[in-house]
Every structure is written in structure tokens, then in C-alpha cells.
Amino acid sequence: MLDISFAALDLPEEGVLVLPLAEGAELTGPVAALDKALKGGLKRALEAAEFTGKKGQQANLLAPGKYKKILFIGTGKAESPGKPEELGGTIVASLAKETAVAVLTASPEQAAKLAFGARLRAYRFDTYRTTLKPDEKPKLAKLRLLTPEPNAAEKAYKTLAAIARGVEFTRDLVTEPANILYPAEFADRAEGLKKLGLKVEVFGQKELEKLGFGTLLSVSQGSAREPRMVVLQWFGAAHEDEGKKSAKKLKDPIAFIGKGVTFDTGGISIKPAAGMEDMKWDMAGAGAVVGAMAALAGRKAKVDAVGLIGLVENMPSSTATRPGDVVKSYSGQTVEILNTDAEGRLVLADVLYYAQQRFEPKYMVDLATLTGAIITGLGHEYAGLFSNNDELAAQLTAAGASVDELLWRMPLVPLGESYDKEINSPIADVKNIGSRAGGSITAAQFLQRFVNGKPWAHLDIAGMAWASKDSAVTPKGATAFGVRLLDAFARGFEA
């Protein structure tokens, strides 16, 4: 893991130094003093490199004075600079082959956010790689942020570090192969979060049968791996019964619900072989919920929240659900299953209904890699947002924009009544698929049948859970999309 520290503004005399500079900005403070000591060497080098400070522009100065390297990075226009998190990610990517780097920052807030971005970008998952070549191994081990107030920067980063740990936890879960991370193992790892102060409950096969989770169990019944439901509670708001843990009860919590299909073959409606290996991350919604709950607990968020995840493995076998089967959900509604590869909505149906019945949340937000149709519609730039509540939709959209986890609102009732008719079944209360057209919308309509008009939003993150290339703060692979979004959303409810 990248060792991050904060120090006073005094420039080091050697090593690798990074100097962020805005467009048209003059060299000031310790940088101006360094330039003077180098007899104007910095200014001349910047002119030779035609460096203007444009966002993302770099000027690499080799060995001026005792330094191994000085790197200028443009931060864009002073009135609208680039985000410090992105700058941190750029620095880590640009200097990955260095061992130690110091960065000059203008404020404690910039230093903390830059460190946060650097940590997110530095994430690696090398658990099963036993023959890494020297040039494949991470070299950047230490990042020092030089700031006017190192103690204030350290304090601000402590909160961001808790969020980073939640992101890293989720990325680990999503990256794990399905033979390692199956429902019981996922639940065990979630239980490990008790150390953060979360109350964690795990429901196994017998408990789910007793509850009557018919739609969730219909997905898992073809697998030798038994299902789980995990409930994580965070008591962050002030309670009258503070200190009486046995009596403590969540009050108007926000509820996060995650789809956790640890591997999805499609069941009897089996998927094509090509690309099926990607279905190990069909549990990314559940991963994001667990990571977000870890973040809230880690930073001691002053809000009551509950996370619920349904964990199953969807496999074809002699015991698997058949297309055409009818099952009874926890809500009492019957469901005709026409396609066993439309399984995530079956998992969420029971968990959504349980969440509202038990916890009476103020808002419910579910996250799921639910449909390929959302990728066709939105690509890999936005997650689809479906909601029956305008205020909730607006809050989620704003939260996502604040952390660059973007949402695009899609049609839903009352605009989508015609879509809802698509899932009426002739022999049951509802069927689990509509026609091919508007697949992500009819999937959301199915979920809405199980929320009883409660304020609710569904985030279809199928296009956002895994990245095929690096971005500013996310290396190629598992993104943990949703962790930072849910954390930002929760801040709006903190006392």
C-alpha cells in the first residue's frame, strides 16, 4: 500500500518533486526561491517545454540541482482548476517507477484530496500473481504532501482514508474469482466489518426458507453453494437510548440494497460461453453496498443507515429453476420466471420488500449490475437511475456528480405505465421479463412492484462496475462504482 504522509512546505533538497501550476500563474513562495537558487533554471525550462499550465500538461525537468527529477503538472484555469483527486491519480500514474515523491500543495484541503486520489489510483490486486516481472511490480512506495498546515491536512485525510478503505474493500470483492468468493465467503468477509462498529447479521438457507424468500431461493436452488442475506446496520445518529445497545433501533434510516450474484451462468437460460468469465462481478452492487457501509462506519458518519445484500450463485443443474416456473416472493406476490438469466431482480425483490418491512427506511436505494440493455443505452459513462421520487433522484444525481460517479435518469411510472404492462403475467401476479425492447426499464418496473410506493431508487450499474482501461482515480478492473456516491449521498442526512 502507498505510504502517504504530510509535511510542512519546506521543499526537500533531493528526490522527485512535483509542482502543480495553474495557467498563467507565476512561480511563488518556495518554488520562486528554488528558481532563484537555480538562477532562473525553472522558468527557462518551462519556456523551453512550452508549458502553459493547461490541465493535465506536464513538463519533466531532469536533475536540476540535487533533484532526481522535477515534474510540473498543469491544473488548468485558476478560476476553475481540475479536481485535486484527479491530480493525485495523475501523479501516481506518471511516477509509478519512482520510489518516493513529494508534492507541493496550496492548502490542507488540496493536500488531503490529492492524497485520496493518489491512493485510489495506486490500487492493485496481485493476490494470485506469483511470477510478477520486475517492471510489473509497484515501485512508488512513499508519497509526501507538502502543505502549509500538515496537521489539518492529516485530519482531513483521515476521513477520506476511511472512504478509500471502503473502495478498496469493494474492489477486492469484485475482483476475486468466483471459486474463492461465493455467498458464504462473501458473508464472512462482511462479518469482518463488525470491528468498525457495524452490527452484522447473516441469514442462511434455513432462515431464508423460513422467511419465505421464494424469488431469491429460486435463483440459488441450482447451485451447490447455499445463499446468504447479510444485513449491516450503522447507528450513527444520536439516539435517546445511547449506550443501551440491546434497545437501540435505527430511526428513519437510509437503506442501501445490493444484488450479490457471485457468479451468473444464466441458469437454465444459459449465457454464451464468450465473456462469461466476467460474470464473477455480477455481485458488484452488493460489493458497493458493503464498501459504502464500511466507509460510513470508518469515518463515524452521523447518520443511521442499513445495508442489505442478497448473495446467490446462479447455476444450471437438475435442481435449477426452469423457465415457466412460478414462485412466491416474500411479499406474497407470485412471479412467473420466463428467463432464469433475469435473476438479479428476483434476488432484489425479496430483499427490497424485507428492507421496507423491517426498517421503514426514509429512502431505499438499490444497486445492481442488472441489465445489458443499460450498457446499450448509456455505454460506460453513466449508470442508469430509475426512481419513483423526484427529490431522491435529484439528491442521488448531485451526489454522483460531486464524486464523478455519474447517473442518468431513465423513465419510470408515472411516465412508464406502458412499460409496466409489459410484465403482467397471464398465470401469476408478474413475470420476470418483458419484451426485448426497453429491457432496463421493464427490469426497474419489476422491482417497483415490490416497493409499495416507498421513496426508492434503482441504480443499474452494469456498465460501470468494471473498467476496460485506466481513468484518473481508477486503474483498469473493478471500479467500486457506488461507494463514493452512496457516501456523498449519506452526507446530506448527517446531523
* This prediction's pTM: 0.95
- Using pLDDT thresholds of 50, 70 and 90, give the confidence band for residue 414: low
**Confidence at residue 183, expressed as pLDDT on a 0 to 100 scale:** 98
Mean pLDDT, residues 346-363: 98
Contact 30, 9 (CB under 8 A): yes
Query: Which helix H or strand E contains 20, and what residues bound it?
Result: strand 15-21
CB-based burial of residue 276 (10 Å sphere; 0-12 exposed, 13-18 middle, 19+ buried)?
middle
Peptide bond into 414 cis (omega under 30): yes
Share of the chain above pLDDT 70, in %: 97
Shared domain for 214 and 358, answered yes or no, is: yes
Between strands 67-74 and 15-21, the pairing is parallel
- 390: amino acid identity, one letter: D
What is the Cα–Cα distance from 435 to 401, expressed in whole angstroms?
32
Give the other-Cβ count within 10 Å of 349's Cβ: 27
Stretch 212-230: mean pLDDT? 98
With 0-12 CB in 10 A as exposed, 13-18 as middle and 19+ as buried, what is 298? buried
Q: 128 and 225, same structural domain?
A: no
Do 70 and 190 lie in one domain? The reply is no
C-alpha pair distances (Å), 10 with each of 217, 231, 248 = 61, 49, 50
Would you list the DSSP string of 430-490? EES---STTHHHHHHHHHHTTSTT-SEEEEE-TTTSEESS--SS--SEE--TTHHHHHHHH
Stretch 213-219: mean pLDDT:
98
Report the pLDDT value the prediction gives residue 245, as an integer from 0 to 100.
52
Greater model confidence, 135 or 330: 330
pLDDT of residue 64: 66
Quick check: is 458 in a domain?
A: yes
pLDDT at 385: 97
Task: Give domain status of residue 158, yes or no.
Answer: no
Question: What H or E segment, with its residue span, contains residue 58?
Answer: strand 58-62
Give the CB-side neighbour count of residue 28, counting CA atoms within 13 A: 8
Residue among 115, 190, 175 at smallest CA distance from 145: 115
N-to-C CA span, the chain: 33
The domain tally of the chain equals 2
Q: Is residue 172 part of a domain?
A: no
With cut-offs at 50, 70 and 90, classify the pLDDT of residue 436. confident
Q: List, in sequence order, every beta strand (DSSP E) within 195-274.
A: 199-203, 228-235, 254-264
Residue 65, strand partner residues: none
- What is the predicted pLDDT for the residue at 79? 82
pLDDT > 90? residue 254: yes
Q: What angle do CA 70, 73, 75 make, to 5 degrees?
A: 150
Mean per-residue pLDDT, 393-399? 98
- What pLDDT score does 61 carry? 83
Rounded Cα distance, 226 and 26, in Å: 64
For the ranges 281-285, 386-390, 415-419, the lowest mean pLDDT is seen at: 415-419
Rounded distance between C-alpha atoms, residue 415 and residue 68, angstroms: 61
Residues 2 and 161: beta-carbon distance below 8 Å:
no
Q: Which one has a higher pLDDT value, 217 or 96?
A: 217
Mean pLDDT of 222-238: 96
- The whole-number pLDDT of residue 119 equals 97
* pLDDT of res. 63: 65
Catalytic one of 55, 345, 431, 484:
345
Instruction: Answer with the one of 153, 172, 201 that is the final residue of a domain.
Output: 153
Does 240 score more than 70 pLDDT? no
Same domain, 242 and 357: yes
Q: How far is CA 320 from the centre of its chain?
A: 31
Average pLDDT, the chain: 93
**Residue 151 in grid coordinates:** 496537521
Q: How confident is the model at residue 74 (pLDDT cuts 50, 70, 90)?
A: very high
Q: How confident is the model at residue 495 (pLDDT cuts 50, 70, 90)?
A: confident
Cα separation, 102 vs 8, in Å, equals: 11
Based on the fold, state whether residues 321 and 245 are members of the same structural domain.
yes
User: How far apart (Å, rounded) are the C-alpha atoms in residues 5 and 105?
Assistant: 13
Say how far residue 55 (Cα) sits from the centre of its chain: 26
- Spatial separation of the C-alpha atoms in residues 476 and 489, rounded to whole Å: 25
Buried b (16+ CB within 10 A) or exposed e, 234-264: bbbbebeeeeeeeebebeebbbbbbbbbbbb
Is residue 170 situated within a structural domain?
A: no
Average pLDDT over residues 356-360: 97
The pLDDT of 426-435, averaged and rounded, is 96
Range name among 7-16, 124-133, 209-218, 328-337 with the lowest pLDDT average: 7-16
Whether 135 shows a pLDDT value over 80: the answer reads no
pLDDT band at 9 (very low <50, low <70, confident <90, very high): confident
CA 403 to chain centre: 10
- Is residue 261 in a domain? yes
| 484 labelled catalytic | no
Give tens-digit pLDDT for 309-325.
Answer: 999 999 999 999 999 99
Task: Identify the three-state secondary structure at position 168.
Answer: helix
Q: What are the pLDDT digits (tens) for 145-189?
A: 999 999 999 999 999 999 999 999 999 999 999 999 999 999 999
| Rounded CA separation 493/252 (Å) | 10
- Lowest-confidence range among 52-56, 194-198, 367-371, 454-458? 52-56
Q: Are residues 134 and 221 in the same domain?
A: no
Q: Between 132 and 278, whose confidence is greater?
A: 278
> Nearest Cα to 464, choosing from 423, 388, 406, 395?
406
Same domain, 273 and 326: yes
In this structure, are 274 and 137 located in the same domain? no
Identity of the residue numbered 424: N
From its phi and psi, is residue 317 left (phi > 0), alpha (psi between -120 and 50) or beta?
beta
Most confident of 3-17, 77-91, 237-251, 354-368: 354-368
- pLDDT score at 457: 98
Q: Is residue 285 part of a domain?
A: yes
Higher per-residue pLDDT: 462 or 130: 462
What's CA 292's distance to the chain center, in Å? 7
**Contacts of 192 by beta carbon, 8 Å cutoff, 6+ apart:** none
Same domain, 124 and 207: no
User: Alpha helix locations (H) across 58-103?
Assistant: 84-94
Question: 376 and 293 in one domain?
Answer: yes
Residue 350 placed within a domain: yes
In this structure, the strands spanning 325-328 and 334-337 are antiparallel
Same domain, yes or no, for 118 and 191?
Answer: no
The answer to whether the Cα torsion of 94, 96, 97, 101 is positive or negative is positive
Region class of 456: left (phi > 0), else alpha (psi between -120 and 50), else beta: beta
pLDDT at 241: 56
CATH number at residue 348: 3.40.630.10
pLDDT of 37: 82
Supply the CATH number for residue 102's domain.
Answer: 3.40.220.10
| Residue 160 resides in a domain | no
Q: Is 431 a residue of the active site?
A: no
For the record, the C-alpha cell of 130 comes out as: 506469483
Domain identity same for 144 and 267 = no
Residue 118 pLDDT greater than 70, yes or no: yes
- Name the active-site residue from 199, 225, 251, 271: 271
Which residue would you say has higher pLDDT here, 67 or 16?
Answer: 16
CA atoms of 197 and 235, how far apart (whole Å): 9
* Domain of residue 482, residue span: 181-491
